[in-house]
Amino acid sequence: MSEHAADYCKPELMACCGAREIKDHNLVLVGTGFPTMSANIARYTHAPHARLMQESGVYDAQPLRPALSVGDPCLNPGAAMIGGLVEIMGMFLQAGWVDIGFLSGSQVDKFGNINTTVIGDYAQPKSRLPGSGGANPIGSLAKKILIIALHDTRRLTERVDFITTPGYIDGPGARERWGLPPDTGPEVIITNKAVMRFDKATGEAYLESYHPDTSVEEVVKLTPWKLNVADDVHETEPPRVEEIRALREILDPNRMIRIYEGRGYV
Amino acid sequence: MSKVMSMKQAIAKHVNDGDFLFIGGYICRTPFAAIHEIIRQQKKDLTVTRSNAADDFDMMIGAGVVKRFVATFLSLGFYGLGRCYRRSLEQGIPHRIEVEEYTNLSLPMMLMAGSMGMPFIPVKDMAGSDLLNVKSFMGDNKYKIIDSPFDGAKTVLVPALNPDLAIVHVQQADEDGNAQIWGIGGDCQVGANAAKKVIVTCERIVSREVIGKDPSRTIVPDFKVVAVVEEPFCAHPGYTPGFYDFDFAFGNLYKNASSTVEGFQAFLDEWVYGVTGRAKYIEHYIQKMGYGAFRNLQAKFDYGYPVSYAY
């Protein structure tokens, strides 16, 4: 039984939830923020041979500060390989080498479809978002997708306004019908309230664990679809001492991760 | 004949209204000085492309030089959504640009196909998403879905792209245009080689002999290059590995300025229209931010590890 940290912030807990999904020797395609933190926590605890890559072209970077973007200068010196998008997205991702992809979105639905394109009508957008970038290919082609989202009835939705990145699309069998590679797709949605895991039989996310300061009832209330609850639903395991030590002593000594508290991850 | 010329000459001579431009960069080595010159010369009706566009594309859209955008993504990254991009698509300010949407896999593959003279290329993404349900100026030629002639599997095909011109920023080039980079590549190499001609901007011009010391770093050969522009600090507020860091404070300045039409216009007046070129821009930067801020961006020098090609 591991000892748990007494004091932590919500983004740190979420980063630890992500880390626990990563196995040793996994190849992880990351963005910035949580994903990088998660993958690195895993490397410093149970998965020392996990390796990270960024779509911009970097494999196994050795940054001396937390990267603020996938093009960050600190990703260059010390990396094992630097190429470009064709190498990472083509030779590694499309060719089927990537085990884990991390994504986040402005809207996420119960099938794990993600919208980063537009809120409202596409032709007359209420809010125009950045677009796919690497999200669509990562969600289509990585073996296991971890989704990070804010838990409220605006970000989580029964159906996204626009499927930028396919989850299970409209239910079981849809990925296969579209010719996406077998045994790929969303694994969990990690929010600031809970961990929701996907039932591969229905393609829907169900409640696996609720974070220490919340409850099944609260999570169900904050989820806009009829959320199934696991028989063995339980409280999320708080950050372990060794996970927090990796974060605060090595990866993020200035606790830059706290900027996510300002973005609502509380 | 040397291809070396000023940024002003290169843009005036090689960027025509209505052209299709690939502009390289991934925060890393963005040819920002060329973007400013395109805006200063008030080019019109451009079609622009790159995977993962950022503040530079946002600025061109806000300044009104862009008509069409072959896109995957546009944001200010750490600083949030692209304000000018939003105003264009949500409110038609200064006008509504046309956007054809792909991804950071499919667009580089389309450029790669273009660079190799292939007519189209299969990709394994976009299937099952709404990216297949929105088509703009490429119409039915945005993509095709076929049954693979080899195994019958449903396959998405996307067309090759061959831009009229590519503009890429590199660490060093010789006077004929052999261009060398190190660090994050993005889609710079495929984009440059897909284009019919290339403007190379560089931190320093070196001799052909220096290029030959490490020829594996060359991403574009001289025969594709029509202009070489020596423009130190060209990528600011982006960075160039080995030369200068990303300017976090300036990112904030642009975010705040571009939040309103007036603020964006004042930014252009100060940093683009108000200077004649990158040398004056640097002068203005130092006056406004202080020499310390400028000095702090300069990379610490690292000799690296010598490469031997001996036999």
The CATH number for B20's domain is: 3.40.1080.10
CA distance linking residue A266 with residue A13, whole number of Å: 10
The CA distance from B296 to A15, in Å, is: 32
* Chain A residue closest in CA terms to B100: A131
Which domain does B93 fall in, by range? 1-99+162-311
Question: Which residues in chain B are closer than 8 Å to A178, comparing Cβ atoms?
Answer: 127-128, 154
Q: Measuring CA to CA, which residue among B252, B236, B264 is closest to residue B63?
A: B264
Q: What backbone torsions phi and psi does residue B256 show, to the nearest 5 degrees?
A: -65, -45
Name the residues of A annotated as catalytic. Answer: 55
pLDDT of residue B2: 85
Q: Is residue B296 part of a domain?
A: yes
Q: What is the CA radius of gyration of chain B?
A: 20
State residue B221's pLDDT score.
98
Domain boundaries, chain A: 1-98+237-259, 102-236
Is the pLDDT reported for residue B1 higher than 90? Answer: no
pLDDT score at A106: 86
**CB of B185 closer than 8 Å to CB of B104:** no
Q: A82 contacts in B (CB within 8 Å)?
A: 182-185
How high is the mean pLDDT of chain B? 97
SS3 A191: strand
In a domain, B6, yes or no: yes
Question: Helix, strand, or coil here: A101?
Answer: strand
Q: Model confidence over B15-26: pLDDT tens digits?
A: 999 999 999 999
Partner-chain contact A130 B105, CB within 8 Å: no
Mean pLDDT by 10 residues, chain A (266 residues): 86 96 97 82 96 96 89 95 98 98 92 97 95 97 96 95 98 95 96 97 97 97 97 97 92 88 90
Whether B133 maps to a domain, the answer reads: no
CB atoms within 10 A of CB A4: 14
Residue A42 DSSP SS3 = helix
Q: How far is A2 from chain B (nearest CA, A)?
A: 35
Interface of B with A in 244-283 (CB under 8 A): 245-246, 248
**Residue B237 domain flag:** yes
End-to-end CA distance of chain A: 27
> Least CB-CB distance to A89: which of B105, B126, B245?
B105
The shortest CB-CB distance from B187 to any of A84, A126, A166 is to: A84
State how far the Cα of B112 lies from the Cα of B69, in Å rounded to an integer: 18
- Which helix (H) or strand (E) is A199 found in, with range? strand A194-199
DSSP state letter for B232: T
Residue B17 lies in a domain: yes
Model pTM score: 0.97
CA distance B9 to chain A (A): 30
Give the class (CATH, top level) of A102-236: alpha beta
Domain A1-98+237-259 CATH (choose: 3.40.1080.10, 3.30.70.250, 2.40.50.140, 3.30.1280.10): 3.40.1080.10
H/E/C letters for each residue in B56-67? HHHHHHHHCCEE
Work out the minimum CA distance from A153 to partner chain B, whole angstroms.
Answer: 22
Omega before A166 cis (within 30°)? Answer: no
Domains A1-98+237-259 and A102-236 share a fold: yes
Give domain status of residue B190, yes or no.
yes
pLDDT digits (tens, 9 = 90+) for B115-124: 999 999 999 9
d(CA B300, CA B307): 20
The two three-digit tokens of residue A221, written as one number: 């209330």
Report the first-to-last Cα separation within chain B, whole angstroms.
Answer: 34
Q: Is residue B39 part of a domain?
A: yes
d(CA A265, CA A164): 23
Domain count, chain B: 1
Give the residue from chain A lying closest to B106, CA to CA. A137
- Contact yes or no for A133 and B104 at CB 8 A: yes
Whether residue B94 is preceded by a cis peptide bond, meaning omega within 30 degrees of 0, is yes
CB A100 within 8 A of CB A93: no
Percent with pLDDT over 70 in chain B: 100
Tell which B residues from 221 to 240 touch A, by Cβ distance under 8 Å: 239
Q: Name the DSSP letter for residue B78.
A: G
Query: To 5 degrees, how large is the angle CA B50–CA A55–CA A259?
Result: 100
Q: Residue B103 and residue A133: Cβ atoms within 8 Å?
A: yes
Q: Is A159 left (phi over 0), alpha (psi -120 to 50) or beta?
A: beta
Q: Are B187 and B107 in contact (CB under 8 A)?
A: yes
Count CB pairs under 8 A between chains A and B.
176
* The residue to which tokens 């895991």 are assigned: A197
- Residue B251 in any domain: the answer is yes
